[in-house]
Structure 1
Amino acid sequence: MHKVSANGAEIPALGFGTFRMDKQDTARMVPFVLNNGYRHIDTAQIYNNEDAVGEGIAASGIKRGDIFLTTKIWVDNFPKNRFAASLDESLKKLKTDYVDLLLLHWPNAAVPLAEQIASLNEAVDAGKVRHIGVSNYNKKLMEQAVALSNAPIATNQIEYHPYIDQGVVLAAAREHGVAITAYYAMADGKVLEDRTIKAIAERHGKTVAQVVLRWLVQQRSVVALSKTVDEDRAVANAAIFDFELSADEMGALHDLRRPSGRLVSPPGLAPLWDAA
């Protein structure tokens, strides 16, 4: 199992994401992927499927200690009087007494960042969380989180695919030993018809999805999340560690970035993104 080392965390380089996945598909796919090589499962309170993730893990027969499990606290639960209780509820749904990685899902200026980070650290001290991190943070917020936290920040989970330039936050993350976890790797399906990526895929006898996932994990300190409700595609998406992209091919994918590449920027949640 290929892993990314990040401030004490050993994160499987390929994870299975459950965003926009209903409970029935989640309960079906989680045990399937765990029995087909995946060891990293990603969910969140707002996905409304933590209970199905828990059921799927239990049904898989895979030891809990062999699975890297991530969930995220939703912004409404950031206040100190809600944070710990919401985590306990997540643990109950997930049928576990700890998660490997707990993230703050989006920035929320209504609650002081120091208070949010303190709650993450308390979860670590209580033994309910092995590692902590953030999600959808720009460079400034990520560096503030690093400075405020006693426990190291393991990752910043962000939108990352060939059409978006994340060089600023990537460089800052590497400087602080923080991994980048990439979501929306397929750019909501846009990469699947990209002629440049198709040509690279044909050269390697791989799918476009495999090439994009390989491009991500071949970058230093980047974890890729893959999400599908199709079992055959899930198996294919895991087959990315038996080939390597050349420097020219890596560069060709990087060259697809464009100013309009960002797809996820919900008003009221998104920070001021870093300029490329």
Structure 2
Amino acid sequence: MYKINIPSPGFGTFRLSGESLKHSIHTAIDAGFRHIDTAQIYKNEDEVGQAIEKSSIPRDEIFLTTKVWFDEFGREDFEQSVKDSLSWLRTDYVDLLLIHWPSPNNAVPMEEYLQCLMNCENKGYTRAVGVSNFTIPLLEKAFSIIGKDNIAVNQIEIHPHFQNKKLVNYCQANGIAVVGYMPLGKGQVMDDPVLQKIAKEHDTSPATIALAWQMQQGIIPIPASTDPEHIKSNLLAAELRLSPEQMKKIAALDTGERLIDPDFAPDW
């Protein structure tokens, strides 16, 4: 159905750094994670690269994603920024290269930075390309520029309290895989009584329930954690199946309120 096979769940690295990040990646890989997500703006590609290089798993068995920040969208900066990312990550390629956010106020035309993205794929710097934080109108514009078949992923905010259903459905109907960031809603899912009740029914945590709910819809969540037990339980979400009634109860939790909405965000 999708253009690339992405291991699910993935391990997110937003707001993680230093030795704790490297230790967490080693814990995640040892537990069975094979998908690591980072970005230029996280300023941790060096630690991510070190951790993967020193892991017991070969590089070609790990799915690695990074994202280009909009300060690098100019034609003269884009490719060099990707080469720098590869250097930090200690690899010749990433599996997925994303546009992190659309250019604020269209300061750099989409035609320019999407062509730069395609050039990186054509030169072998990445095996697939995609976008992040793109709305339906922005996706439609991207389709018209580089073709629907060239966009593998849209990475967007998704958690039980913000389900982004219209955009998820649109992406999946068009063969675009959905990677969900902030899948635990900054930890808010832990305090949700509905998720707590369902978690008790499965003898697990509300976090595992939230991840299983996403995966059961074909969404690829990328939770971040430095706690070894949480890392292991996050991976177990792949083995858990929720009943239709439980899925329905979680669907009713949607508040429509985003947690990530910076001033440079697109017109949602």
Shorter-chain TM-score: what band? over 0.9
1:184-218 CA-partner distances (Å, limit 9, x unpaired): 11111111110000000000111111000000000
Once residues 174 and 241 of structure 1 are traced to their aligned partners in structure 2, the CA distance between those partners, rounded to angstroms, is: 19
Quick one: which of 168, 171, 185 aligns to 2:169?
171
Quick one: which of 156, 167, 181 aligns to 1:183?
181
Task: Indicate if the aligned counterparts of 1:32 and 1:60 stay in contact, CA closer than 8 A.
Answer: no
Write out aligned runs for 1:107-186 (5 A).
107-108=102-103, 109-150=106-147, 152-186=150-184
Once residues 113 and 245 of structure 2 are traced to their aligned partners in structure 1, the CA distance between those partners, rounded to angstroms, is: 42
Counterpart of 2:46, as a letter, is D
Deviation at 1:243? Answer: 2.2
Once residues 143 and 8 of structure 2 are traced to their aligned partners in structure 1, the CA distance between those partners, rounded to angstroms, is: 22
Give 5+ residue unaligned stretches, structure 1: none
Counterpart of 2:19, as a letter, is Q
Secondary structure at the aligned position of 1:51 is classed as helix
Task: Indicate if the aligned counterparts of 2:223 and 2:234 stay in contact, CA closer than 8 A.
Answer: yes
Give 5+ residue unaligned stretches, structure 2: none
Secondary structure at the aligned position of 1:234 is classed as helix
Quick one: which of 70, 82, 92 aligns to 2:77?
82
- What is the Cα-based RMSD across aligned positions, in Å? 1.1
Counterpart for residue 234 of structure 2: 237
Counterpart for residue 99 of structure 1: 94
Secondary structure at the aligned position of 1:264 is classed as coil
Greater shift, 143-152 or 249-258, is seen at: 143-152
Once residues 32 and 191 of structure 1 are traced to their aligned partners in structure 2, the CA distance between those partners, rounded to angstroms, is: 23
Residue 226 in structure 1 maps to residue 223 in structure 2: yes
Task: Indicate if the aligned counterparts of 2:8 and 2:238 stay in contact, CA closer than 8 A.
Answer: no
Quick one: which of 243, 257, 260 aligns to 1:264?
260
Counterpart for residue 70 of structure 1: 65
Secondary structure at the aligned position of 1:158 is classed as strand
Deviation at 1:29? Answer: 1.2
Residues paired across the two proteins, number: 265
Counterpart for residue 34 of structure 1: 29
Once residues 32 and 165 of structure 1 are traced to their aligned partners in structure 2, the CA distance between those partners, rounded to angstroms, is: 29
TM-score of the superposition, structure 2-length normalised? 0.96
Once residues 39 and 13 of structure 1 are traced to their aligned partners in structure 2, the CA distance between those partners, rounded to angstroms, is: 8
1:63-92 CA-partner distances (Å, limit 9, x unpaired): 111000000001100111100000000000
Identical amino acids, percent of aligned pairs: 38
Once residues 137 and 64 of structure 1 are traced to their aligned partners in structure 2, the CA distance between those partners, rounded to angstroms, is: 29
Greater shift, 48-57 or 29-38, is seen at: 29-38
Counterpart of 1:179, as a letter, is A
1:71-129 CA-partner distances (Å, limit 9, x unpaired): 00011001111000000000000000000000000111111101111011100110111
| Structure 1 outlier segments of 4+, above 6 Å | none
Counterpart for residue 249 of structure 1: 246
1:137-156 CA-partner distances (Å, limit 9, x unpaired): 11111222233225621111
Secondary structure at the aligned position of 1:130 is classed as coil
Task: Indicate if the aligned counterparts of 2:121 and 2:128 stay in contact, CA closer than 8 A.
Answer: yes
Counterpart for residue 41 of structure 2: 46
Counterpart for residue 209 of structure 1: 207
TM-score of the superposition, structure 1-length normalised? 0.93
Once residues 135 and 212 of structure 1 are traced to their aligned partners in structure 2, the CA distance between those partners, rounded to angstroms, is: 21
